[in-house]
Structure formats: C-alpha cells, structure tokens
Amino acid sequence: MFSEKLKGLRSGGMVFFHDLLMASIAWFGAYWLRFNLGAIPEEALNSAVSYLPLVIVVQTVAFKVFGFYRGVWRFTSMPDLLRMWKSVLSALLIVALVLFLYNRLEGVPRSIIPLYGVLLVLLLSAPRLLYRFWKDGNGPVAGAGKRVLIIGAGQAGEQLVRDLLRAPSAEYRPVIFVDDDKNKRKREIRGISVAGSIRKVPRYIEKYQVGAILIAVPSATDKEMQRIVEICESCGVPFLTLPSVAEILSGKVTQEALREVSIDDLLGRDPVKLAWESIKGSLENKTILVTGGGGSIGSELCRQLVQLSIKQLIIFEKSEFNLYKIEMELKAQYPGLSILPLLGDVVDRSALKRVMGQFRPNLVFHAAAYKHVPLLETQAREAARNNVIGTLNVAQESIEVGVDKFVLISTDKAVNPTNIMGATKRTAEIFCQSFAVESATQFITVRFGNVLGSAGSVVPLFQEQIKKGGPVTVTHPDMTRYFMTIPEASQLIMEAASVGHGGEIFVLDMGASVKVSYLAEQMIRLSGKTPGQDIKVEYIGLRPGEKLFEELFHDEESLKPSGHDKLFYASARSYKKEDIESLLQALSDACNTFDDDKVKSLLCQLVPEYKEGTGRSSEALGEEKNYVKHTERRQFTRAV
C-alpha cells in the first residue's frame, strides 16, 4: 500500500512539474511569437523573466482552484479540457490585472497575454490527448480476438468498443455496428462503421465473418429486447448483452460487464424510478419488522431497507436456514446496523406478543405466507392457519403496540380467486381494510403478480428441466402470467409504504402479461437449444386451483393514480366488521379441529367471489379460453 501511495505521489509530482514547465514555455513562447519568431529584445526578455514567478504562482493557484488535477491523463475528456480553459482564462485575467495595477503593463506587449493563453492550452492538452490515444490504441489489432458485431451505436456501444480497442489481447474484436437510427448509418465510431438496421444482422454475420454478437442497448424495452434476441437466435452465433440501465450504476461500460442474455432481459420492463428521498424520510431511524424475512420477497425487502439508515431491522422467520443466510449476508455488508434475526412462526401468538412488546417496531412488512397454489388446494387448514390466522395475529399485535404502519404483501391470485391460496390472501386483505377504519395503525395492502426467480416460480423449475434435457412442462398453451423482478417488487412495496395513509390496496403495474409457453421456449433458446427438437415442451393441463390468466383488481375496484407511474391504488370495498369477526373466529375454530370442509365453506363466505374448484371446471376453462382468445386484457393505463 505504501508503494502504491509513493507511486501516486511521484506520478502527481511529474504531472505538476510538467504543467509548470508548459506554463514557462508558453510565457516565453508568447514573446517569441510576438517578435516574429526572432530574437527577443533584451528589455522585453528581462520583463518576461521578472514577471515569470507571478505567472507561475497565479497559474498554479488557478489549477488548484478549478480542480485541474482531478482528471487522469489516460481518460482525458471534455470536462478536463473545460477545467483547463477555466484555469488558463482566470489566470490570464488576474495576471493582466496585477500587471496593469503595478505598472500599467509596462514592458509587456498587449498581445503577450492572449498568446500565452493559446499556447498554454495547446501545450497542456496535446500531451494529454496524445497519451490517451497511445494508451487506447488507434484501431482494432489485426487477427486479435473473435470478430464481433455490436448492436447499438449509442453511448453504451461506443464505450464498449473503446474498452475493447484498449486491450490488444481482448477476447473480442469489433468489426461492425448496426443500429436502427438512420442518422447513424454510414458513419464511423472509433473507426468502426455503422452498417445498417438491426433486422439485417443475419446478412452482416456472413458478410463480415462475425463469430459473436454483442448487444449494447441497455435502455431497450422488453419488446425491443425480444425482437433483438429473436434476430440473434436466427444467426446461429453466440450473443451476449450489457446489463440494463438499472444495473449499470457506475456509468462504466466494459467488456467485463458483458453477460449472457437472461430471461429477465426479455421479461424485464422500464427501470423503476423511485422517490428515494421520500422513502428514506419515511423509514429513516425507524425500527422495522419483516415477517417471512428469509423468503424471496422478505429477504429482498431486508436488503433494500438496510440501505435507508433505519434504526433496527427485526427479521422474523420460521426457516432456520433462510434466516441464517439473510443474517450472514446483511451483517457482512452492514456490520454497524442493528440486525436482529428471530426464529418464530406467525401463528404463534405468544411469540409475536413477546417480540412486539419488547421491540415495539414502527413499521411491519408482513411477507410471511404460503404461496404454492396446487399444494395448498389439498391443505386448506394449513393455508388458512398461516395466511389468515397468522396475518390476523400480526395485525392485532401491531395494533396492540401502536405500530405506525402495517404493510400486507398480497397477490394477484386474491382477485376473483379460484383456489385456496387466493381466497386466504383475499381474506387477509378484507380484515386489514376493516382494521384500517378504526385503528390508529395504518393498514396498507400491496398486490402484485409473479416475481422472477422466487421460490416456487416457474423460472427455476424450467431451468432445472432444461438442465436435465427436458421435457419442459407447461400446464396450458394459453396460460398467461404477469411477471416482475424481485428487487422491483420490493422497491415498489417500500414506495407504497411511504405514500400510503391506511386503507389502500396498492396495485403494482405489472406491464403486459406473458404467455408461459413463450417463457418456456425462450428459456430453451437462451440455453442454446431449439424448442421441440433438442428439448420438448409438454402441456400437462391445469393443476388444481390454477387459472389461465390472473387479474390484478376486481371489477368493483376502480384504479386511481398514486403519484407514482408504476403504483396505483384500488378503491376498497366495504365490509361489516361484525360479520368478519364472527367468521374469522369460526375459521380459527375450524383450523383447530382440522375441519378442512368447514375451512373451505367459511372462506367462501368471507370471499363471496371465491368459487371453490372453478380453476379446473370445464365450464370455467371454456370461459377463460374465450376470454383470452377473443377479448383484450385490461391494462393499467386504460383503467386509470
């Protein structure tokens, strides 16, 4: 470390010495130019020598004031040149003013000042630019690396090419750009031509003997990315992509950032732009409890929350392994933060009472829930006990200790449910809305669809099936689902907690629904295989409780804007508190006696729109097919 510091001091000293030398040369050079490149008269030379210390001191101070030495020679850019101009111009004005006040510029021809400025800028910038040109190289090295075509001739593409050209031993050698922007056609970027549109990629692959494709369009939407990937797949050569805009936080695009195209790229959407200051202000210095904090959504919520200067994070989780994993991860990254991992089950009212009473959290994010639809269809008691009674326990204890906000994480399956899981989550929504009316605690519900890569989702299932060589099993060719990434869902949950005042059901904008069959086929293609040939796709029929499509809001829940373009809230439906309380007590009794039939009957009473078993009935299946085939799905923007 000492040697590195010493090296840095030597490098900085050499740069400083170089600039002082250039300032001296520029000062005498101005006199030399003034006298037509001939001998400088003795009187003028004496004045040049006598005023040189003043010029050096003023110029040095100007360099320091304008941060001229922040830049690195190898990466000299316009901001560095701008600081240079400011430093030189300000020094010129100060030197001219001092000399004018001192002796009315006697012995200093008026042209010396501007000549000095022009010469100094040239002498300072030329070595820097030449050094960068020498380090970057002046073009691709013949025969070095695999010949690649780059899709995207924008800033990301330019930075990628620049990085590739810097290293003669780079794995890839750029030979051609393609871009849909007609204004970029037949132009060159760092010596690489922009040939034509993206749809002509297959033609250019053969023409330029390209061995790989690099996708440098981090701002592409999901539809644009789908089109690009389909074109690349038809070319028969490997293709990689740069991360999305949301992932490129440093602003630096290098060949190390290249990775294989993932399913997230095809199903991802525009990056979420959050009001981080508002979120931070609402959560800062707060004690926060996350139930189910070791699960997919719960753990990501914990990762996001610890970045917001909270006072304490309490992770309540019944899986010992999941709790251990998230604890180790967070404590390694934030050793100074108070993180309290607690083993516990939300159905254990005594444990909840003790935790709530001892730590008195300001906010509760309730993520603990059973979510696997087919599994819960045959275990109604367990589903109701965990998703309804467990949520009821957390909600009532939150009211008891005066929690400021209680955020229920719900699901699109709670809308017109055809399965036990959806009915239990809708029941939880109903009594949380009821509590919001009369309690000081603000009850907020956040409802969204599937998250990519979560435990139990189709993505890891398909990945495992592809790894084994298939077949990939899809329930129905017409089945569609909404998808979003886990970080996006977690961030929007925090946004909802920030803007909610109690009683709202927030609905996340999930974008367009995606056919699960398309998802399966694309994952097969991304693995380098061909659907139907290398790996088969088999349709196995709807599982218990499943629907062909999901909805995010009920017909009676008109959506309203929340002030965030990806967050809406549905107008709540009213319910009689007395009816809810008696049914919940009966449900608890049915769970205690393991009466599954009674549990199902009570769920039907609590959620009138729940029709037990309609997920697999032939009549309902026909209606869903007709809905998907002949009608246009409601979209958020249309509803609002």
Q: What residues contact 598, with CB distance under 8 A and at least 6 apart? A: 586, 590
DSSP bridge partners of 514: 481
Contact 549, 627 (CB under 8 A): yes
Q: What share of the chain is helix, strand, coil (3-state, %, to 5)?
A: 50, 15, 35
**212-215 and 239-241 beta bridge pairing:** parallel
Residue tagged 């929504």 (tokens): 429
Which candidate in 286, 413, 425, 566 is catalytic?
Answer: 413
CA distances from 540 to 1, 471, 477 (A): 62, 11, 10
Q: What residue spans of 409-476 are helical by DSSP H?
A: 420-438, 458-467
In 514-558, where does DSSP find H-type helix?
516-526
DSSP state of 469: T
End-to-end CA, the chain? 59
Instruction: Give the whole-angstrom CA distance, residue 374 versus residue 379.
Output: 9
- CB of 561 closer than 8 Å to CB of 568: yes
Pair 345, 318: CB distance under 8 Å: yes
3-class DSSP state of 253 = coil
The reply to whether 371 belongs to the active site is: no
**Cα–Cα dist 112/259, whole Å:** 56
In angstroms, the CA 100 to CA 106 distance is 8
- 3-state SS string for 577-631: HHHHHHHHHHHHHHHHCCCHHHHHHHHHHHCCCCCCCCCCCHHHHHHHHHHHHHC
Apex CA 548: angle with CA 546 and CA 554, to 5°?
Answer: 85
Q: What is the CA radius of gyration of the chain?
A: 33
Nearest to 160 by CA among 169, 147, 173: 173
Q: Where are the alpha helices (DSSP H) in 458-541?
A: 458-467, 486-499, 516-526
Question: Could you tell me the sign of the dihedral formed by the alpha carbons of 386, 391, 396, 401, in that order?
Answer: positive
Instruction: Please report, for the chain, how many H helices and E strands are present, in that order.
Output: 23, 22
Q: How far apart are CA 74 and CA 497, in angstroms?
A: 46
* CB neighbour class for 144 (10 Å; exposed up to 12, middle 13-18, buried from 19): middle
Cis preceding-peptide flag for 109 (omega within 30 of 0) = no
Tell me how far apart the alpha carbons of residues 468 and 455 are, in angstroms, rounded to a whole number.
19
Could you give the CA distance from residue 214 to residue 149 in angstroms, rounded to a whole number? 6
195 three-state secondary structure: strand
Label residue 465 exposed, middle or buried (CB < 10 Å: 0-12, 13-18, 19+). Answer: buried
Closest CA to 272 of 499, 454, 485: 485
Active-site positions read 413
